Structure 1
Amino acid sequence: MPADHPTILATSGGYRFGTRTRMEFNHLVHHAVELAGVSGHAPRVCLVGTASGDQRWFAAEMDEAARVAGFDLTHLHLFPMPNVEDIEGHLMAQDVVWVNGGSVANLLAVWDVHDLRPVFRRAWEAGVVLSGVSAGSICWYDGGCTDSYGPDLRAVTNGLGLLPYGNGVHYDSEEQRRPTVHRLVGDGTLALTHCTDDGVGIVYHGTDLVEAVTEQPGKGAYIVQRGGDGQVSEERIEPRILV
C-alpha cells in the first residue's frame, strides 16, 4: 500500500549499535516504514548503498538489521552492474527506499549513468516513501554541501530536485557544516535550506515540510535563508521525539 502523499523523510540518522548484531535500524528508519502505511505484510525496504560503492559487507550488516526489525529487505546494487533487471519495477514494488550515506556527488553521477532521475520521481509520485541518511538525504534536494570532493566542504547543486531547497546534514557534529551552509545561502549558491542535526529527520508531503522528528532528544532541525537585506538567518524547528 503506497503512502497517501508523495513522501520523503530526509535524515542525518537511522542506525544504532545492536545487541546481538553490530547494527540495528533506529527510530528514523522505522518511521519511514510508518509513513508508508504498511499493513498485511512485512515492510518491503530497498536499501541503496551506491554512495559508498555498494559495499557487500555493509549490505550483510543491513541484512542482519532487517532480520531484527522484521523487514523484507532488498538491495539495489549498481556496481559492477545493476543486480536487478528491471530497476523501476523493483523500486515500485517497495514500501520504502532507503539511501545510505557516502559520496553524494558520486551517487548522483552513477544514477545519471543509469538514467534513474525520472525513475525515482515516478516512484515518489506513486507513493513509495523515499528516505535516507546524509548523501541519502541531500540527493532528494536541489543540492547541499558535501565532502565528496575532499575534506573542505563544497557545494553540490545537481540533486534530484524533488525538494526545491538546499539541504544541510550532520549540522551539529561537523564543525564546517553550519558556516558552509550559511555561506552558500548567503552567496546564492543554495536557496532556502533545510538542515538536520545528527539523529533528526524532516518529513515532506509533496514539497511541503510537515514536521521534524528525532531519535535523539535535544537535537534540532533548521531553516536557513537569506533575507531581502542579504543577511542570512537561521530558524530552529523543534522535532517530535520518536519512540
Structure 2
Amino acid sequence: MIIAIGGGEIVDNETYEIDKFIVESAKKENPNFLFIPTASKDAEPYIETINDLYESLGCKTDTLYLSNVEVKSEEVNQKIERADIIYVGGGNTAYMMEVWKEYAVDKALIKANKSGKVLSGLSAGSICWFIAGHSDSEFIEGRENPKHKWVKGLGIIPYLHCPHYDEPERAGFDEFYSGQIADAIAIENQVAVVWDDYEMKVIKSNLLKNAYYLSWRDNGFNKKVLL
C-alpha cells in the first residue's frame, strides 16, 4: 500500500488524520517506522518533527541518513527490511532520486512495495512513487531562471503526479501537463491518495480539499475529482 500526500505543514498537525491512517494501515501494535529525509538533505528539525509525531502515534522510529554520511548498502537494506512503515520526506526530488540510485534505495523500495510494507510520503515523498512528478527542484537549488520540471520516480503508481496542487506556484500544472500520454494524479495539501493493488481511494485531513484525475483524450483536457 502507498499513501501519497499532496502536502501540509506537519508541525501544525495539518496531515494528522492522514498520519493516523498510515500507522493504522500497518495493522501492528507498535510498528517500526522508518523516515527517509533525503530530499531535505537530512534536515534535523524535520527529522525531529516527524519522529516526535510518529512516536506519539505509537511507532518505534528510525531514520535512514543518506546525505553527508558514508552508508553501507547492507545498512540501507536492513533498515528498509526492518520497517513496517516507510515515510519519505519532502524537499528536492531530483537530488533525492540521484542519491537513491547511488545507494540502490530505489530498488530496495520497489522490493519493499512487493513485500507489502506501508509506503508513504509527502511532496517529493509523494512524487517518488509515481512515473514522474512536477518538481520545483530547480527553485530549491537556486538555479538562474528556474522552471518546474518532470522528475522521474519509481513508477509503482502508473501515473504522472503533481503535489501541492492548490498552491499558487502549481497553478500552471494543467498547462505543463498538456498533451502527455500518461494520465495524472494531482493532490492538494492535506489530502492523500491511497494506492492499494491498483485500487485508489482518497483520504483527507481537510474535507474542503481534493485530489484530481487528469487526462488528455481526443476531446482535449479532462479533470475529475477523485473520491
After TM superposition, the score normalised by the length of structure 1 is: 0.83
Question: Could you tell me how far 1:183 is from its partner in structure 2?
Answer: 2.2
Query: Structure 1: 5+ residue runs without aligned partners?
Result: 1-6, 239-243
Question: How many matched pairs?
Answer: 221
Q: Tell me if the contact between 1:223 and 1:234 (Cα under 8 Å) persists in the aligned partners.
A: yes
Question: Could you tell me how far 1:104 is from its partner in structure 2?
Answer: 0.6
Select which of 57, 62, 67 maps to 1:74: 62
Q: Is 1:175–2:194 an aligned residue pair?
A: no
- Aligned residue type for 1:183: E
Q: Is 1:214–2:226 an aligned residue pair?
A: no
- Aligned residue type for 2:189: D
Matches within 5 A, 1:7-22: 7-13=1-7, 16-17=10-11
Q: Tell me if the contact between 2:212 and 2:225 (Cα under 8 Å) persists in the aligned partners.
A: yes
Q: Distance in 2 between matches of 1:168 and 1:187?
A: 15
Q: Is 1:197–2:188 an aligned residue pair?
A: yes
Q: Distance in 2 between matches of 1:24 and 1:184?
A: 28
Question: Could you tell me how far 1:141 is from its partner in structure 2?
Answer: 0.5
How big is each residue's C-alpha offset from its partner over 1:61-119, in whole Å with a ceiling of 9 and x where there is no partner?
33322332221010001022238842122212211100010011111011011122211
Partner residue, 1:121 = 110
Match of 1:108, SS?
helix
Q: Percent identity at matched positions?
A: 25
Match of 2:200, SS?
strand
Q: Tell me if the contact between 2:10 and 2:49 (Cα under 8 Å) persists in the aligned partners.
A: no
CA RMSD, aligned part only?
A: 2.2
Q: Is 1:44–2:32 an aligned residue pair?
A: yes
Q: Tell me if the contact between 2:10 and 2:50 (Cα under 8 Å) persists in the aligned partners.
A: no
- Aligned residue type for 1:198: N
Q: Is 1:160–2:154 an aligned residue pair?
A: yes
Select which of 135, 147, 152 maps to 2:124: 135
Q: Distance in 2 between matches of 1:17 and 1:58?
A: 9
Q: Tell me if the contact between 1:153 and 1:177 (Cα under 8 Å) persists in the aligned partners.
A: no
After TM superposition, the score normalised by the length of structure 2 is: 0.88
Query: Structure 2: 5+ residue runs without aligned partners?
Result: 141-145
Q: Tell me if the contact between 1:222 and 1:236 (Cα under 8 Å) persists in the aligned partners.
A: yes
Q: Distance in 2 between matches of 1:25 and 1:43?
A: 19
Question: Could you tell me how far 1:184 is from its partner in structure 2?
Answer: 3.3
After TM superposition, the runs of 4+ consecutive aligned structure 1 residues lying more than 4 A away are none
